[in-house]
A and B are shown apart, each in its own frame.
Chain A
Amino acid sequence: MQAQTANRSIDYRALIQPDKVEGSLYTSSEIFNDELEQIWYKTWVFVGHTSEIPKAGDYISRNIGLQPVIMLRDKTGAINVFSNRCAHRGTKLCNQVSGNVRAIVCPYHGWAYDLSGRLVEAPHGGEYSAEFMASKGLAKLPRMGEYRGFIFASLAEDGPTLDEHLGRSKAFIDRFVELSPEQEIELTAGWVRHKYQANWKMLYENDTDGYHPEFTHASFLQAIDTQVVDYVGKKDMLTEPVIKDWGDGHTELEFGTGYRHSGNPFEWFGRASPSKFPNYVAAMDEKYGAELSLQKMIDGPPHAIIFPNLFIAELSVVIFEPVSADQSVQWHCPAFFKGAPEVNRRMIRQAEGALGPGGFLVADDQIVAERNQQGLMARSPQWLDISRGMGTEIPDVENEGVVIGEMVSELTNRAFWEKYKSLMDVETTTNSQGTAE
């Protein structure tokens, strides 16, 4: 067992203060390695969605931190998450992003695993005992859990349960899946992967930052007639979009306050007329009753992040993948609302318009993140300021324990860093090795 500990020479309490954070947090390789141990290999991390692997033998391969894993459905329909590594000599087994297999066979010496991860064949295996064979299955991750189709895993044996980790953020997933008349979303449209030469925390922080859109996205706001124009740079916390700290590092840029004030359904869907989706509206009305259905169609989907890597980006699901201190990948997949095929095409087109390397919004975010990364190589000034809006927060009367800040506040940055510090600032660290033995 390879016990890893955080680097004791780094004083995270000094680097992370309520109103400012130190630049090296984004640039230091030592800190990145600490993050792998203290965050990525310890806490719950979003891996994938059940709809991505509907049939026996379907798999997806992802990374948790830098560790390759596969999420695989077996013949009984059960889902497991394994290390993507042959138990024999370490070969990476599945090199495609997704696929379907009848068995997993290592290309090195032909070791073959069934869909539940058991080693079923090792060529010239007469030398191996039954006990040995039984002990050489695929390494299952210590913990796996599901919430309404979203599969999370943890590389730590112990720690908070998934339910405790998600905490109030389950409300994001609830709000999202309940926009489907069958209360299920499907991630079958494929993933675009957008490469950033920037630290992963910039992806997280930017995606619930309500202060930057007027500037980073000025070209979008000028060139495009969209509802977003009316929802940026706002300061009224009761009638306009706000940002929210949901606790435990989960944050939101809540457009719903603005949408509710407008009273129109589908503000979030490019202000589409409900007459474009008669079957969807009918199915929603059928499921929830007219009043609640209308409310859901006014409120729209969340724009919110579940710490550390799952961003429900209104109509898409986004994953943050850390690669190194100065490299990350932002994944996105437009969601489909099950039972509402007539909205699917629009979900795809809206995702393409906003996200990814060719999107009207996020291509600019990438460039700014990369410029941040380079600027931070300058060691002076020492600090990044996140003080904006401190002391102006108000409690969310609808959600106990949730704190609201005006859209252009930096409440969500502070919420992220508070959680980050709680994980990184440890006197003694626990074992965080990544295999079940």
Chain B
Amino acid sequence: MTEVSKLQGQDCLLENGLSNDEERALTNFILLEAQYADESHYEEWEAMWSSAPDATYWVPRGPHALDPEKHVSLIFDNRARLATRIRQLKTGYRFAQIPVSPMRRVVSNIVMRRSSNEDAEGADVYEVESNFVLVEIAVQSTNNQNIWAGRTLHRIRREDGQLKLHSKRVLLVNGDEPIASIAFLL
């Protein structure tokens, strides 16, 4: 095996068993999700999520995925808490996002694979990994231009024929450093 094959997700680059249609659909899915987040289209963003109670929006503390049962995370929302997060953003009083941060992210270095998720019951389940670089202006207070970067793992599954986001894990490069508000959608 070549050196590069040790990289996480490498097998998916070489041979992931996905059809071109599947790859295109998954790529479009995460790009659309990124655009909704960038533009703070909360309802459209939330509508991409599965309604399963165990759906998870997770930002571990630090560049590694520390066990969330033992370690504090920056964000660890189950589906109910994620709904609360969106509800809070929509109150008009979430000062950490008033006004919303102007943001643009670039999503790249995508690898994907079919997942063998236990509770899938034969349905299509996919994992998509990608890097992002996100430029955000903290217009709520300092007007600092923040550069956020990291690697995202989307778990996407087909529910009633539609692709739905079942979990999103964001490993921030600077997640274990002192950081300012991430009240926007990562």
Contact = CB atoms under 8 A, between A and B. Distances in A.
Nearest to A188: B70
Interface in B158-182: 176-182
Contacts of B103: none
Contacts of A333: 72
Most chain B CB within a 10 A radius of its CB, from A356, A357, A366, A374: A357
Contact of A364 (B92, B94, B182): B94
B183 interface: yes
Interface in A148-207: 188-197
Contact of B179 (A193, A349, A351, A374): A193
A368 B182 CA distance: 15
Contacts of B182: 357-358, 363
A358 B183 contact: yes
Interface of A: 97, 188-197, 216, 218-220, 222-224, 329, 332-334, 344-345, 348-349, 351-353, 356-358, 360, 363-364, 366-368, 370-371, 374
Nearest to B86: A223
Contacts of B75: 352, 358
Contacts of A370: 140-142
Given A195-B179, A363-B183, A216 B144 contact: no
Nearest to A189: B72
Contacts of A371: 141
Contacts of A193: 176-179
Contact of B93 (A189, A218, A349, A356): A218
A223 B91 contact: yes
A335 to B, nearest CB: 10
A219 B93 contact: yes
A353 B74 contact: no
A188 B96 CA distance: 29
A356 B74 contact: yes
A352 B142 contact: no
A298 to B, nearest CB: 26
A410 B59 CA distance: 36
B71 interface: yes
B73 A220 contact: no
Interface string B62-104: 1000101111111110000100110111011111100000000
Nearest to B180: A195
A304 B140 CA distance: 28
Contacts of B73: 348, 352
A97 B176 contact: yes
Contacts of A332: 72
A357 B72 contact: no
Given A348-B69, A366-B180, 19 more contacts: A193-B176, A193-B178, A193-B179, A195-B179, A196-B180, A219-B93, A219-B94, A344-B70, A351-B72, A352-B72, A352-B74, A357-B182, A357-B183, A358-B182, A358-B183, A363-B181, A364-B94, A366-B96, A370-B141
B95 A224 contact: no
Nearest to B183: A363
Interface of B: 59, 61-62, 66, 68-76, 81, 84-85, 87-89, 91-96, 140-142, 144, 176-183
Nearest to B141: A370
A363 B95 CA distance: 8
A190 B61 contact: yes
Interface of B, secondary structure class, is: loop
A197 B142 contact: yes
B61 A192 contact: yes
Contact of A360 (B61, B88, B92): B88
9 contacts: A97-B176, A190-B61, A190-B71, A194-B180, A195-B178, A219-B89, A219-B94, A224-B84, A360-B84
B93 A374 contact: no
A191 B140 CA distance: 25
Contacts of B87: 223-224
Contacts of A223: 84, 87-88, 91
Closest 9 CB pairs of A and B: A370-B141, A219-B93, A223-B88, A363-B96, A218-B93, A195-B178, A358-B75, A193-B178, A219-B94
Contacts of B176: 97, 193
Contacts of A194: 178-180
A219 B95 contact: yes
A357 B141 CA distance: 14
A353 B75 CA distance: 8
B93 A192 contact: no
Contacts of B140: 367, 370
Given A197-B141, A222-B93, A367-B95, A189 B178 contact: no
Contact of A367 (B72, B141, B178): B141
A366 B179 contact: no
Nearest to A196: B180
A358 B74 contact: yes
B182 to A, nearest CB: 5
Contacts of A364: 94-96, 183
Nearest to A316: B72
A301 to B, nearest CB: 17
B59 A358 contact: yes
B84 A334 contact: no
Most chain A CB within a 10 A radius of its CB, from B72, B91, B93: B72
Contacts of B177: 193
A232 to B, nearest CB: 14
Contacts of A357: 74, 179-183
A345 B178 contact: no
